[in-house]
Each structure stands twice: as C-alpha cells, then as structure tokens.
Amino acid sequence: MMKVTHTICPSCSVGCGINLITKNQEVVGTYPYKRHPVNEGKNCLRGRECFEFLGEETRIRTPLIKKGNLVDSDWEEVLNMAARKINSLKGEDIGILASGNCTNEECKNLKKFADALNVENIGYYNHNFPKFDFKTGTLEDLENSQFILVIGDVLKDNPLMGRRIILARENGAIIIATDYPEKTTTGINANKYIQITSIREFLDKLDSEIQSKLDERSTIVVGKLDHKKELNKLYQIVSKSNSKLIPVMGDCNSRGAMNILPALDTDDLKALIESVKLLYVVGDDPVSYTEESFKNLDFLITQATTINNTTLLSDIVLPGAFWAEKGGSFTNNTDNTQKFPQIVPAAGEALDDVTIIQKIAEKLNITF
C-alpha cells in the first residue's frame, strides 16, 4: 500500500512542506508538496533526504543502560532507574536540556516536568541566537523588498529562504551579502558581497551605503551571529530604519522552543551542565560540542533517536521518535506554527517523546 502524506520538513528552520511516500508503513521517498505556501513544492537536498534518518543503522530501537558498556534493557528497568536517580536529588542538582528539534508539545511537557521538580536549570542550545519576541518579517516581506542585507550564506544553508531573495532580485531588489569566506553562494548572487572579519564590527560601523538603503521596504536576513548581543544591535538598526528583520536559526523548532524554554548559548550551556549532578538530554548531542563540561556529571539520561557522542556517554538511553513517527508542531523562523501528523510507527520499542516524559513523571508520582 503506497501513500503520499503531507508533513513539515525537519531539516532547518524555514518550515517547508514536504510529502512523504510510504509503502507498507515504511517511508521510502519524498514527493513535492506544491500546495505548501512556504516552498511551493521545492525542497533542498537536505530536505529531500530527511526521511533517510528513519532507517539509519545507528537507530536506537531499545532502551539502553550502562553496565560497563551500554547494553539493551527494557522500559521498566530504565524508567525505574531514571526515577530513582531523579528522586534522590534536589531540583537544583538536576538539569534538563531540550533541543531546537523538539516539538512545541515536547518543550511544553519538559517545562511542566521541570516545574514540578523545581528544576530551574532548563533550556536548549540555540547557538548564538537569544530569545526574542519582536515581530519578524515574513517571506512575502522578503520577496517584496527593494533592498536586502544578508548576513551568512542563506542561499546555501537555507535555500528556500534564499529563494525569496532570488525572487526579490528578479523583481529588481538590490542585495548586499556579507560573511567571512572569500566567496559564498549568496555573495555571488548578490549585487555586492562584503567579506568581513567580525559581525560585531560590521554592525558597529555599518556601511554608509547600507545605511542609506535601509527603509520600510528593506529586510535584513541574519543567518549567523557570533554573540547574542548582536541580535539586539540588529533590532535597533531595523527599528530605526523601519525595515524588517528575519533571524534564520538552525533547527526546525528553534523559534517555537524559544517561546517555552530559555535559549542558551555556548557559555550558558556549559554553565548549566557544570552546575548539576544529573542531566536529562532530550533530542540533542551536547557532548559533541562541549565534552569538557560533562566531566563532573554523576548521571546522564539521554533521550535520542540515533547513537551519538552523548548517548555513548550516558547511563541510560531512552529511545525517542523521529518527527514522522510522532506528530506535533514546529514553529518556523517567520513565526508560523505548523502541525504535522504521525505517519509511520516508531522503530522497535522507541516511543514518542511526550509519552516518555510522561512515563518518567508517572514513576515520580508527579502529574501535570
């Protein structure tokens, strides 16, 4: 039985629609979703390959527990163990790390879970993008702009955001791109490319040509920051010139998670990990970017779909579900919250992540 089902691409924060082709309950390919307003059936390579993770060899299919090495376990054993460890500690000794790939529903459940345990050390790594709540530009604003400033290689990293820049250029917009490399894909398709050595310096001494062009029909697209303070600087620039700002973050729910959980940069992340004894990681792989911080941790619980550096270091691994195996919602860069359905069952004994959080809560006798 072949079926074509709409979903939202989990590969980046643009929030493109994509169709998954399933055959006998297995995802076998993708098909253009031309009715979707964000991307009109166009997807980048990463998007079209998004389903391949589902069948990866490193997929975690059963709960794992450390007995010397990580060995196969069962839900009862790992949940009891997790509950016992959590119960033995005060809220201040527990840390919870979600990810920008967690659905809105997972973030909400984690927040309630943390509140019930008086855990304040909670957040998700959002690279250098801080929490913000200002109104951002829309894809239509971008496409209809007369001037666009692009920070980072948005055409390459987020092609379906890049497409709107291309469309704007076709309509006569002037595009100025800036980034660190000598040459970028966005740069060669812009009217002008400015190679920089520091985003902060670039913003502090904003080119007079750019300043003169920024007005109510302009958009700044920012795909990278070196420090969270730079977003505020950008916000000041667009506020002064009445132009629009679109921050393009890394993960499919970076923007949604921000509304529920603290957005952490590298320093915040290190501080969080180093201040707790037990860490519960959901959907991220922090060991791969800050291994040092894990040295003093007593107990590590990881909820993940595939083996990664963090699961390898964990005491307990809880097998979670990929987006197509659970359903939920993601909020994209331009603040659209889009629901997506469960399309296939989770692999092996894996469970959807909200269920796992609730199962731990049950073991702890907490309700929310």
Partner 1 sequence: MEPEYLLARAKDENILEKGECGGAVSSIFQYLLDCDLVDGVLNLSHGEDIYDGIPSLIEDSKDLIETCGSLHCAPTMFGELISKYLQDMRLAVAVKPCDAMAIKELENRHQIDGDKLYKVGLNCGGTVLPITARKMIKLFYQIDPADVVKEEIDKGKFIIELTDDSHKELKIDDLEDEGYGRRVNCQRCEQKIPRNADIACGNWGTEPGWTFIEIITSKGKELVEKARENGYIEVKAPSGKAVAIRGKVESVMIKMAQKFQNKYLEENYPSLEKWDEYWNRCIKCYACRDACPLCYCRECDLEKEYYEDSGDTPPDPLTFQGVRLSHVCYSCINCGQCEDVCPMEIPVARIFHKMQKKYRDQTGFTAGISDELPPLYSPEKE
Residue 133 vs 170, nearer CB to partner 1: 170
Q: Which two tokens stand for residue 236?
A: 């000041």
Question: Minimum distance between the CB of residue 22 and partner 1, rounded to whole angstroms?
Answer: 10
159 near partner 1, judged by CB under 8 A:
yes
Euclidean distance between CA atoms 92 and 101, whole angstroms: 25
Q: Which two tokens stand for residue 175?
A: 């595009």
185 near partner 1, judged by CB under 8 A:
yes
Question: Minimum distance between the CB of residue 227 and partner 1, rounded to whole angstroms?
Answer: 28
Q: Which residues pair with 3 in a beta bridge?
A: 22
Residue 157 vs 285, nearer CB to partner 1: 157
- Candidates 59, 112, 127, 156: give the one binding partner 1 (CB under 8 A): 156
Residues within window 308-327 making contact with partner 1, judged by CB under 8 A: none
Query: How far from the centroid of its chain's Cα atoms is residue 266's Cα?
Result: 15
Tell me whether strands 69-72 and 64-67 are parallel, antiparallel or unpaired.
antiparallel
Residues within window 32-51 making contact with partner 1, judged by CB under 8 A: 32, 34-37, 39-45, 48
Question: Minimum distance between the CB of residue 136 and partner 1, rounded to whole angstroms?
Answer: 21
Euclidean distance between CA atoms 23 and 31, whole angstroms: 13
Which among 124, 103, 63 has a CA at the least distance from the CA of 354?
103
- Candidates 79, 81, 160, 282: give the one binding partner 1 (CB under 8 A): 160
- Candidates 7, 11, 13, 19: give the one binding partner 1 (CB under 8 A): 19
Question: Minimum distance between the CB of residue 15 and partner 1, rounded to whole angstroms?
Answer: 14
Q: Which two tokens stand for residue 140?
A: 């239509």
Residue 71 vs 188, nearer CB to partner 1: 188
Residue 37 vs 55, nearer CB to partner 1: 37
Euclidean distance between CA atoms 95 and 2, whole angstroms: 43
Residue 140 vs 298, nearer CB to partner 1: 140
Region near partner 1 per CB under 8 A, out of 31-39, 91-99, 326-334, 342-350: 31-39
Q: Which two tokens stand for residue 300?
A: 């590590």
| b/e map 63-82, b = 16+ CB within 10 Å | bbbbeeebeebeeeebbebb
Q: What is the 3-state secondary structure (H, E, C) of 160-218?
A: HHHHHHHHHHHCCCEEEEEECCCCCHHHHCCCEEEECCCHHHHHHCCCHHHHHHCCCCE
Amino acid at 345: P
Region near partner 1 per CB under 8 A, out of 130-138, 152-160, 245-253, 312-320: 152-160
53 near partner 1, judged by CB under 8 A:
no
Question: Minimum distance between the CB of residue 217 and partner 1, rounded to whole angstroms?
Answer: 19
6 near partner 1, judged by CB under 8 A:
yes
Residues within window 233-292 making contact with partner 1, judged by CB under 8 A: none
Which among 142, 107, 102 has a CA at the least distance from the CA of 223?
142
162 near partner 1, judged by CB under 8 A:
yes
Residue 356's CB: how many other CB atoms inside 10 A?
Answer: 24
29 near partner 1, judged by CB under 8 A:
yes
Q: Which two tokens stand for residue 81?
A: 């163990």
Residue 143 vs 284, nearer CB to partner 1: 143
Determine the size of the site formed for partner 1 (CB under 8 A): 36
| Backbone dihedral angles phi then psi of residue 136, each to the nearest 5 degrees | -100, 165
- Candidates 58, 71, 134, 188: give the one binding partner 1 (CB under 8 A): 188
Catalog residues that contact partner 1 under the rule CB under 8 A.
1-4, 6, 19, 21, 23, 28-29, 31-32, 34-37, 39-45, 48, 155-156, 159-160, 162-163, 166-167, 170, 185, 188-189
